[in-house]
Amino acid sequence: MSAIELTIDGKKIEVEPGTTILEAARQLGIDIPTFCYDPELPSNGACRICVVEVEKARALVASCVAPAGSDMVVHTASERVINARRAILSLLVANHPLDCITCEKTGECKLQDYCYRYGVADSEFSGEVKELSDDDSNAFFVRDMNKCILCGICVGKCQDVIGAGAIDFTKRGFVANVGPAFEDSIEDSTCVFCGLCIDSCPVGALIPKYSLGKGRPWEITKTRAVCPYCSIGCNVNLHVKANEVIGVTPVETNPVNRGHLCIKGKFGWDYLKSGDRLTRPLIKSNGVFLEVSWEEALALIADNIDEVKTRYGSDAIMGLCSPKTTNEESYLFQKLIRSLGTNNVDSYTRHCHAPAVDGMMEAFGSAAMTNSIEELSDTGAILVVAADPAESHPVISYRVREAVRNGAQLIVADPEPIGLTDLAQHYLPLYEGSAVALVNAMAYIIIEEGLQDQAFIDKRTEGYAAFKAAVSKYSIQDAAEVTGIGEEELRSAARAYAGAEKAAIISTVGANYSAAGGGLVLALANLALLTGNLGKESAGLYLPYGENNLQGVSDMGALPAVLSGYQLVKEKAVRDKFSRSWKTEINQNAGLSAAEVFTSGENSAIKALYILDENPVTCIGEENVETVQFLANLDFLIVQDIFMTETAALADVILPAAAFAEQEGTYTNTERRVQLTRQAVNPPGEAFPGWAIIAELAGWLGFEWIYDGPSDVFDEMTSLTPQYAGMSYERLKTRGLQWPCPSEDHPGTAVLYEGRFSRGLGLFTVVDDQTAVPSRTEISVSSAAAYHACQCQSDSMSKRSVINNFKRDSGR
């Protein structure tokens, strides 16, 4: 269709068909007021403040919903328009408390701004006003519906974007309202406290409790940081007044969360101010911790490390790195441990994700998520198996909802309804443990009906013949029996997945450390290979990690067998490269893994252990006896953390670290995006950023490290790490960069395996296992293996936060 030309306020403009008058005016820099317009919601047209005059039209038109028409002549500020806007403001104000003096929203309230703009000081109408009582039911926000102007944005966000469906319009006429059904309180609704409604409300009707009375918009500085909880890596603005974080809003312009958050990112940061924060180094003396100076603590560590090294050799030393540390901290940490002559460095939680890592390594030759989160919105079909993204990675579930709004087919395979079931055109409530059979049956149907991508199979894969033979062993009737899903449902799900131009798969089964999920990961990889859904946009495998920087910590080489960028310790060229840069020898033997060491109990070869931000003692919800035994047998235990944890309590020295808002650095999210997080406030007391503590300790241990700041560390790392080679803090500022990014002019890589897999050809693997895979429910029932288990570090934050009040089972 050809462009549309119209005239707005005397200026001509050409726009695409379907552009609204509002969008066209904005392109011309004409500012039309809006209350209810939100580009991500379906057209609403409720508040009418955006009306404009279109010549020859009978009535004024709402510019936010009216499409621009050819040869339209539009006036956005005629007298008629201004009068209508004044009337609307006057009507709103007549039914509004107008307690701007104490209102939290003052200064960024649209109603206030527009009244100012159009000179509406007081209403010309007087009469009945709403007198509703506040909904103060919950720990997170207050709903003052007397201030609500019923723009409906919160309803749209809650229903369409979040999918919580906690609120809707209620009643009609003057008493129409917005809220939970049956006038329930929000606490008793299906609200998940994502906070999106709060962030979208144009007036002061929804106010987060954390900011009550804390500060005015103009007193606040906003610092951009990255959420410390899950591996999505949402970008947040930290609101700071007088060295205190007093609020959080989502960053709207970044591709990861695009203005969305979940309860953790929105409300979970108050642990920063917890009284449990460590503020000074502690040394255990006769079973009690004494506050000491940094010098004393570091000297003691240096002495003890030297002693262990002399007495037992370097391999008696180990470092355990938390997946919550920044790239800079984890990079320096493994550098420190390796500089001590051992490769005994690991990230405890990584083995939780071993099935995902191993499965993808086998099929593709590397293990990272194949595509980007934002691409999900444009995919044609999504298969969700053994995952509940609404619980584990909410932002992924928002993207799935968006995809379905855009017309995607959604297939949910889970024994129990999950947070996305309501949306799924294909819900397959399969029997527990039959997911591999289901996926294989889908593959069988795809082959039988000739829906596979033969060109892709021929050119880009190997092992197809054996795979085809294996899946053909079972009939659909067999599969129907094993899975409990009828043939028709199986067929239509298979067709929906294979029939889409681009189809994606989401599963968190890879997060199951019991390793039984490996088969399913392979089966899913087969399905994607079969349909050519790899190496292209909006397709691929989404097996997101749990912890926020698990990807980064692995990338940084906090692993026993590899240095940063997965460069093998056993390869001489690699060791030489690092030795040259680090000016130290690197041990050629791979180190011990955390899993090996932690189960070795009293017989452990490890005598000194340095733990960053991990709490292995109670990692899985309850005390781990084996771990305690192992820790008790150490000669020397160093714990660096932000809280006094159960593990720290066993330490000889505790070093107080800075939390996420208190330091600059980078995190790499689950889609391989390296993002910059900034310092908003000072760490409490004498706490220091982790990277700085490690660098300082290195000095005490006799190494000459000089870093001016975290970006120095980052630059050293990129010079040694091919995937990160083209990155710098400067380049990370707005959108971050996805690795591989080999050179300074490389835009980063959103989609892996375009043209080639890491191992060359994609490998079909026979997974002839009809029973062994646990379903998501089994996983969450046995919480030892559950997703949340792998977020155990988060627990130490969330249990010191208001989000601990959220009863997960309320609502749904």
Partner 1 sequence: MYEKHLMICGATGCLSSGSSQVEEALIEELEKHGIKDKYRLVMGGCPGFCEVGPLIVVYPDEVFYSRLKPKDMAELVEKHLVGGEIVERLLYKGPDVDAPARFYDTIPFYAKQKFNVLRNSGLIDPESIDEYIMRGGYRAFTRALNMDSTTICEEVKQAGLRGRGGAGFSTGLKWELTYKAPSSKKYVVCNADEGDPGAFMDRSILEGDPHAILEGMLICGRAIGADEGYIYCRAEYPLAIKRLKTAIEDAERYGLLGENILGYGFNFKMNIKEGAGAFVCGEETALLASIEGKRGMPRPRPPFPAQSGLFGKPTTINNVETFANVPLIVKEGGVDEFVKVGTDGSKGTKVFALAGKIRNTGLCEVPMGITIREIIYDVGGGIKGGRAFKAVQAGGPSGGCIPDELIDLPIDYDSLNQAGAIMGSGGLVVMDERTCMVDLARYFLSFTQKESCGKCTPCREGTKRMLEILNRISEGLGKPEDLDTLDSLATSIKDSSLCGLGQTCPNPVLSTIRYFRNEYEEHIEEHFCRAGVCKELFNYRIDEEKCTGCTACVKACPVDAIKGEKKEPHEIIQELCTRCGSCIEKCRQDCIMITPVGSEADVSN
Q: Can you give the binding site for ligand FES, defined by CB under 6 A? A: 34-37, 45-50, 62, 64
* Contact status: 437 vs ligand SF4 (CB under 6 A): no
Pairing mode, if any, of strands 503-506 and 540-542?
parallel
| Cα 739 to Cα 8, 498, 540, 736, distances in angstroms | 45, 29, 16, 10
Coil/strand/helix, residue 669: coil
Q: How many Å apart are CA 593 and CA 595, to the nearest integer?
A: 5
Quote the strand ranges of 72-123, DSSP E. 73-75
Pairing mode, if any, of strands 168-170 and 409-413?
unpaired
- Residues 6 or more apart whose CB falls under 8 angstroms from that of 58 comprise none
Q: How many Å apart are CA 323 and CA 489, to the nearest integer?
A: 40
Pairing mode, if any, of strands 177-179 and 11-15?
unpaired
In contact, 326 and 691? CB cutoff 8 Å: yes
From 24-32, 96-104, 269-277, 627-635, span contacting ligand SF4 (CB under 6 A): 96-104
Among 24, 148, 383, 435, binds ligand SF4 (CB under 6 A): 148
Whichever of 50 and 318 has its CB closer to ligand FES, that residue is: 50
User: Is the Cα torsion angle 565, 566, 568, 569 positive or negative in sign?
Assistant: positive
As given in the structure block, the two tokens for residue 412 are 């949910």
φ and ψ at 144, to 5 degrees?
Answer: -110, 90
Binding site partner of 92, from ligand FES, partner 1, ligand SF4, none, Cβ cut-off 5-8 A by kind: partner 1
Among 233, 389, 532, 656, binds ligand SF4 (CB under 6 A): 233
Question: Residue with the closest Cβ to ligand SF4?
Answer: 265
* Contact status: 258 vs ligand SF4 (CB under 6 A): no
Q: How many Å apart are CA 196 and CA 395, to the nearest integer?
A: 12
Binding site partner of 192, from ligand FES, ligand SF4, partner 1, none, Cβ cut-off 5-8 A by kind: ligand SF4
The tally of CA atoms less than 13 A away on the side-chain side of residue 728 is 8
- Residues 6 or more apart whose CB falls under 8 angstroms from that of 264 comprise 227, 229, 230, 794, 798, 803
Whichever of 175 and 212 has its CB closer to partner 1, that residue is: 175
From 151-159, 362-370, 611-619, 744-752, span contacting ligand SF4 (CB under 6 A): 151-159
Binding site partner of 34, from ligand FES, ligand SF4, partner 1, none, Cβ cut-off 5-8 A by kind: ligand FES
Smallest distance from ligand FES to CB 32, Å: 8
Smallest distance from partner 1 to CB 425, Å: 13
- Fill in the DSSP letter of residue 502: S
Whichever of 174 and 218 has its CB closer to partner 1, that residue is: 174
In contact, 57 and 69? CB cutoff 8 Å: no
Coil/strand/helix, residue 383: strand
Among 51, 74, 120, 234, binds ligand SF4 (CB under 6 A): 234
Q: How many Å apart are CA 57 and CA 89, to the nearest integer?
A: 23
Whichever of 150 and 634 has its CB closer to ligand FES, that residue is: 150
Smallest distance from ligand FES to CB 55, Å: 19
In contact, 146 and 96? CB cutoff 8 Å: yes
From 82-90, 188-196, 353-361, 647-655, span contacting ligand SF4 (CB under 6 A): 188-196
Look at residues 429, 416, 444, 414 and name the one whose alpha carbon lies nearest to residue 506.
414
Binding site partner of 88, from ligand FES, ligand SF4, partner 1, none, Cβ cut-off 5-8 A by kind: partner 1
Whichever of 82 and 100 has its CB closer to partner 1, that residue is: 82
Whichever of 67 and 215 has its CB closer to ligand FES, that residue is: 67
Among 32, 52, 178, 305, binds ligand SF4 (CB under 6 A): 178
Binding site partner of 97, from partner 1, ligand SF4, ligand FES, none, Cβ cut-off 5-8 A by kind: ligand SF4
CB count in 10 Å sphere of residue 243: 8
Q: How many Å apart are CA 267 and CA 249, to the nearest integer?
A: 10
In contact, 547 and 791? CB cutoff 8 Å: yes
* Contact status: 157 vs ligand SF4 (CB under 6 A): yes
Smallest distance from ligand FES to CB 289, Å: 59
Binding site partner of 87, from ligand SF4, ligand FES, partner 1, none, Cβ cut-off 5-8 A by kind: partner 1
Smallest distance from ligand FES to CB 375, Å: 30
Smallest distance from ligand SF4 to CB 145, Å: 7
Q: How many Å apart are CA 319 and CA 611, to the nearest integer?
A: 6
Whichever of 36 and 292 has its CB closer to ligand FES, that residue is: 36
Rg of the chain in Å (alpha carbons): 28
Among 100, 701, 751, 766, binds ligand SF4 (CB under 6 A): 100
| Cα 476 to Cα 144, 520, 769, distances in angstroms | 56, 19, 15
Total interface residues for ligand SF4 by CB under 6 A: 54
* Contact status: 191 vs ligand SF4 (CB under 6 A): yes
Binding site partner of 257, from ligand FES, ligand SF4, partner 1, none, Cβ cut-off 5-8 A by kind: ligand SF4
Reduced 3-state DSSP string for 2-43: CCEEEEECCEEEEECCCCEHHHHHHHCCCCCCCCCCCCCCCC
Q: Return residues touching partner 1 (CB under 8 A).
A: 43-49, 51, 59-60, 62, 65-67, 80, 83-84, 87-88, 91-92, 94-95, 124-125, 127-128, 149-150, 152, 168-169, 171-177
Distance of CA 146 to the CA centre of its chain: 34
Smallest distance from ligand FES to CB 402, Å: 21
Binding site partner of 68, from ligand FES, partner 1, ligand SF4, none, Cβ cut-off 5-8 A by kind: none
* Contact status: 147 vs ligand SF4 (CB under 6 A): yes
In contact, 485 and 428? CB cutoff 8 Å: yes
Binding site partner of 544, from ligand FES, ligand SF4, partner 1, none, Cβ cut-off 5-8 A by kind: none
Smallest distance from ligand FES to CB 494, Å: 43
* Contact status: 205 vs ligand SF4 (CB under 6 A): yes
Smallest distance from partner 1 to CB 72, Å: 13
Coil/strand/helix, residue 213: coil
Binding site partner of 171, from partner 1, ligand SF4, ligand FES, none, Cβ cut-off 5-8 A by kind: partner 1
Whichever of 322 and 409 has its CB closer to partner 1, that residue is: 409
Region for 71 from its dihedrals, namely left if φ exceeds 0, alpha if ψ lies in -120 to 50, beta otherwise: left
Smallest distance from ligand FES to CB 12, Å: 23
Q: Between residue 375 and residue 434, which ones bind ligand SF4 under the rule CB under 6 A?
A: 393-395
DSSP, residue by residue, 288-346 = EEEE--HHHHHHHHHHHHHHHHHHH-GGGEEEEE-TTS-HHHHHHHHHHHHHTT---EE
From 90-98, 484-492, 553-561, 759-767, span contacting ligand SF4 (CB under 6 A): 90-98
- Residues 6 or more apart whose CB falls under 8 angstroms from that of 104 comprise 204, 207, 211, 212
* Contact status: 556 vs ligand SF4 (CB under 6 A): no
Smallest distance from ligand FES to CB 34, Å: 4
- Residues 6 or more apart whose CB falls under 8 angstroms from that of 708 comprise none
In contact, 661 and 245? CB cutoff 8 Å: yes
Smallest distance from partner 1 to CB 186, Å: 19
* Contact status: 97 vs ligand SF4 (CB under 6 A): yes
Smallest distance from ligand FES to CB 38, Å: 9
* Contact status: 557 vs ligand SF4 (CB under 6 A): no
* Contact status: 232 vs ligand SF4 (CB under 6 A): yes
- Which residues form the interface with ligand SF4 (CB under 6 A)? 96-100, 103, 105-106, 109, 111-112, 147-154, 157-158, 162, 164, 166-167, 178, 191-197, 200-206, 227, 229-230, 232-234, 257, 261-262, 264-265, 393-395
